Amino acid sequence: MADINRQKLMELAASLGLSPIDKNKLRSVEDAAKKYENKSEEEVLKELKQLKETLFADKASFERQMKLVKDIRPMLNTEQRQKLDRIIDLLSRE
């Protein structure tokens, strides 16, 4: 993973009270990120739009997930933060 490394993920998990984190779950997160690293931004946004309806089905779960996504933001570089902000905006619109 380019700018988000394993140590940063472990620190985030600890700060959220998720320690100790299962190394297999961490690997799953890394694998999920790799799934999208070769996709264009348009492809990722298209998938996000498709997932949006599912996310809104459980509002409480959605809010928890959005908090976690926002907590990752400081670990990103400027370009990644801008992309994440666009994604957050897209997902937050009802």
Specify whether 21 is located in the same domain as 45: no
In this structure, which amino acid lies at residue 72? I
Specify whether 64 is located in the same domain as 32: no
Residue range of the domain that includes 47: 39-94
Tens place of pLDDT per residue across the chain (94 aa): 445 566 776 776 666 666 666 667 667 767 777 777 788 888 887 877 777 777 777 888 888 888 888 888 888 888 888 888 888 888 777 6
Specify whether 62 is located in the same domain as 94: yes
Specify whether 15 is located in the same domain as 48: no
Query: Is the separation of the CB atoms in 84 and 69 below 8 Å?
Result: yes
Dist CA 82 CA 46 (whole Å): 17
Specify whether 34 is located in the same domain as 54: no
Answering whether pTM is above 0.75, one says: no
Q: How far is CA 71 from CA 16, 35, 40, 42, 43, in A?
A: 9, 21, 24, 24, 24
Specify whether 49 is located in the same domain as 82: yes
Specify whether 94 is located in the same domain as 66: yes
Specify whether 80 is located in the same domain as 90: yes
Specify whether 58 is located in the same domain as 34: no
Specify whether 13 is located in the same domain as 34: yes
Q: Which two tokens stand for residue 70?
A: 């926002």
